[in-house]
Structure 1
Amino acid sequence: MSERKVRNMVEFAEVSGLSRPTIAKYFADPASVRPQTRQRIEAALVRHDFRPNLFAVNLNKKTSNTIGVVVPDTTDPFYADLVRHIELDCAANGYLVVVLSSHGDPRMEARSMDSLLMMRVAGAIVAPLGLDTDVGMVDSLRARVPVVFLDSRLDDRSPFVGTDNFQSIGLITEYLCRTGDRPTYLELPAVNHNGDQRRDAYVRTMERLGLAPEVITLGSAHSWRFEDVGHAETLRLLEGTGLPTATVLCCNDRLALGVMAAAYQSGIRVGRGPGCQLRVAGHDDQPHSRHLCPPLTTVAQDVRQLGSRCVDILLARLDDGADIRPEQIALEARLMMRASA
């Protein structure tokens, strides 16, 4: 049973009978105070059921044990999986993680980075929007703490960990050309640099194979609601001139989900078996992709490695205390052959 309700560090110091600096020293590093003092503090913590405000503790410390992470959308299965691995790796190294979402909005992205500065995080992992990112705010952040870019590269002044889009798109394009009708490519809305790279990789691969590329462009579409975009664009084409070929390669799995829903709505059977009229493939291998009906053929980004390499690079920069050469890491993807293509 707790005694007097304690609201802050000052009151906790008072009820525990110790000085405020001693309490602050304990919360910064419990091993830094004498064993008897530590036992006394921990008994008072239990007795008064007190939990310190960790952000306030960080503000009073020269160094922080908090890592900031900014992603475009925490509800996106790809980013949710990435964040899960980052949190686990950071926890194993004694760091807490604060995750903020920009929701695809450059103003919210800038606000998220500003919030990390106010929290005095030790370092940051940022998956930038890219095309509309406030570069000035990024510069302010990396002038104060080490920053690692994740998934989408902004520039080469900071370390970057992502997927080799030319390898991954080349791999699945070649597979689709080998096993059926040449693929039409459904590009990503204009949201980050990955979309441009993957479209260019598709075009280069088709030309290398001596085939005519077919790209469904989305113009100025700027939405992160990829399922809705894929669904609406596919319905528009099916109700008009039709799809250019009987195979659609989507820039990511979420677009593919929308394409498959539109095909079902139009009475078109997706797959590669008897009676199937359309093959659909994606990119990413998000957690739900293997459970679609039919399961989605795609290329799998190595989410585990993407997260762990980011954490390793960031912690190395924190340990060294020096601005080492910014690594630019592009990991290879694996082909996942399933029933949709």
Structure 2
Amino acid sequence: MKLYWRKEKVYHWVKQCLATTGKGPFMQNPKIRNMEEFAKASGISRPTVSKYFQDPMSVRRSTRERIETALRTYDYQPNIYAMNQNRRRTNSIGIIVPNLADPFFTEIGRVVELACIDAGYSPIVRSSHGKPAQETANLEALKALKPAGILLAPFGRASDRDHVRAFAETVPMVLFDADIEEAGAAFVGTDNVQSIGLMTDYLCRTGEPPCLFEMRTPLNPNANKRRLAYLAGMERHGHEPRIVHAEGSGWSIEEFGLREGRRLLEDGAFPSRTILCSNDRLAIGLLSAAFGLGIKVGHGSDCELRIAGHDDHPFSRFTCPSLTTIAQDYGAIAELAVQQIAQVIETESMPCEREISLFDGKLVMRESA
């Protein structure tokens, strides 16, 4: 009786395996090498299988369940790269930033990436590692993957503008953070006139009018807009604008702020005890220089210097003292940039007029000014 019961159990097990997989329990499934073999093994047409992999909800529920059962049975994974090469356009969006080693671009790149995911796209993030030539190489590498569109935070002045313009004529593109007017692509960023004006007003209202500390050869075109906004702000308040330059060129901006800031402080070359830095990275270096010289920074009566920046760099609230700055609305910039690229992708046409969308900056008052 006991032996008979065991035979019955084995019989039902084999029967169940044959019913669900079409194979006995000890038979191995053949290796599936491509989508054609998977379609044949699963008993579903090749076009339907391909449609499922592009959008599972585009096929009927019963078909979807059959495909998913076959996927579990054969443990098949499609070659997405090969699928993309056979399509006119993929669901991928390339995101290029100047340098992911810079926490500012790490953060804004992260926010843009998440916005793409929320919109149903597959983002591909690439860094240009501080090298304009790599920006061009990144565009070409992404073009080979047939992306639906590109979101580019360009170097600006150092970018190969002719190449960016030619690329934007063949692949949907939206620029963010820094603009290249010649590219013809839509731009989403911060209103530097408003943001620097806001900071200039605050510093003039609360103490000695500021001088502007900037790189002599800035990498980003935003620096030029901020200088013009500073000049306009000082004129509006009836003060003489005074600009001090840090020598050096490259991506080591904190190092330039430290080295040049120390030299200028030692020489008494800053014409004001209030210093507005063109960006937070320069301000972080200047704060370090002041600390090394024993100069107390802040807005207290016992402080010798006030220092402010722009960008709300991820490290700015951790400096000592914490840095007064302007915060950019990363979330709004990312959301609108993705909306605009999606519109171009869906309509397959560029707007008649180039769109420029600017968001106000927000004053963040901390201990340094």
How far the C-alpha of 1:121 sits from its partner, in A, is 0.5
Query: By how many angstroms is 1:338 displaced?
Result: 1.2
Task: Give 3-state SS (helix, strand or coil) of 1:144's partner.
Answer: coil
Distance 1:232 1:107 in 2: 28
Residues 113 and 137 in structure 1, CA contact (< 8 A), matched pair in contact too: no
Deviates more, 1:37-46 or 1:295-304: 37-46
Q: 1:166-205, aligned counterparts within 5 Å?
A: 166-188=193-215, 189-205=217-233
In the alignment, the residues of structure 2 paired with residue 195 and residue 4 of structure 1 have an alpha-carbon distance, to the nearest angstrom, of 62
Change (3 A) 1:32 1:305: closer
- Taking the aligned partners of 1:134 and 1:20, their CA distance within structure 2 comes to 43
Shift of residue 184, structure 1, vs aligned partner: 1.9
CA distance in 2, matches of 1:54, 1:264: 53
Matches for 1:204-283 after TM superposition, within 5 Å:
204-219=232-247, 221-283=248-310
Q: Secondary structure at the match of 2:246?
A: coil
Deviation at 1:29, TM superposition (A): 2.5
Segments of structure 1 that go 5 or more residues without pairing to the other structure are none
Q: Specify whether residues 3 and 279 from structure 1 end up closer, same or farther in structure 2 by C-alpha distance, changes over 3 A only.
A: farther
CA-CA distance at 1:242 after TM superposition? 4.2
Amino acid at match of 1:122: A
Counterpart amino acid of 2:251? Answer: W
Counterparts in 2 of 1:338 and 1:17: CA distance versus 1, 3 Å: same
> Is 1:135 paired with 2:172?
no
Of 149, 157, 163, 2:175 maps to 149
Change (3 A) 1:209 1:47: same
For 1:17 and 1:222, the matched residues in 2 are separated by: 63
The question of whether the paired residues in 2 share the 8 Å contact of 1:114 and 1:137 is answered with no
- Alpha-carbon distance, 1:65 to partner: 1.0
Change (3 A) 1:284 1:7: farther
Q: Which moved more, 1:152-161 or 1:31-40?
A: 31-40
Q: CA RMSD in A?
A: 2.3
Determine if contact 1:28/1:61 at 8 Å carries over to the other structure. no
- 2:360 pairs, out of 308, 314, 332, with 332
**Aligned pairs for 1:13-162 within 5 A:** 13=39, 16=42, 20-155=46-181, 157-162=184-189
TM-score (structure 2 length as normaliser): 0.84
Equivalent residues of 2:95, 2:113 under 8 A apart: no
Deviation, 1:204, is 2.2
Letter paired with 2:200 = T
Q: 1:228 to 1:45 in 2, by over 3 A?
A: farther
Mapped contact 2:93–2:149 kept (Cα < 8 A): yes
Quickly say closer, same or farther: Cα 1:10–1:241, change in 2 above 3 A. Answer: farther
Note closer, same or farther for the CA distance 1:259–1:11 as it changes in structure 2 (3 Å cut).
farther
Question: Aligned equivalents of 2:88 and 2:74: distance in 1?
Answer: 28
Count of matched residue positions in the alignment of Structure 1 and Structure 2: 339
Provide the C-alpha distance between the structure 1 equivalents of 2:100 and 2:326, rounded to a whole number of angstroms: 21
Q: Does the 8 A contact of 2:113 with 2:125 survive in 1?
A: no
Deviations 1:200-228 (A, max 9, x none): 21122223322222212235x33122211
Query: Residue deviations 1:46-101, cap 9 Å, x none?
Result: 34444434333222223321111111112323322222222222222211111111
In the alignment, is the contact (CA less than 8 A) between 1:152 and 1:192 conserved in 2?
yes
Distance 1:6 1:179 in 2: 72
Where does residue 331 of structure 2 map in the other structure? 304
> Cα distance, 1:20 vs. partner?
4.8
Deviation per residue, 1:281-308 (Å, 9 max, x gap): 0001123322322221111111111111
Q: Structure 2 counterpart of 1:202, which letter?
A: Y
Q: Deviations over 1:241-291 (max 9, x none)?
A: 443221111111111111111111111111111421111100011233223
Aligned partner of 2:307: which letter?
V
Q: How far has the Cα of 1:15 moved from its partner? A: 5.5
The aligned amino acid for 1:198 is: R
Larger Rg computed on CA atoms: 2
| Structure 1 counterpart SS, 2:116 | helix
Q: TM-score, normalised by structure 1?
A: 0.91
Q: Is the 8 A contact 2:88 2:146 kept in 1?
A: no
- Are 1:318 and 2:345 matched, yes or no? yes
What is the SS of the residue equivalent to 1:309?
A: helix
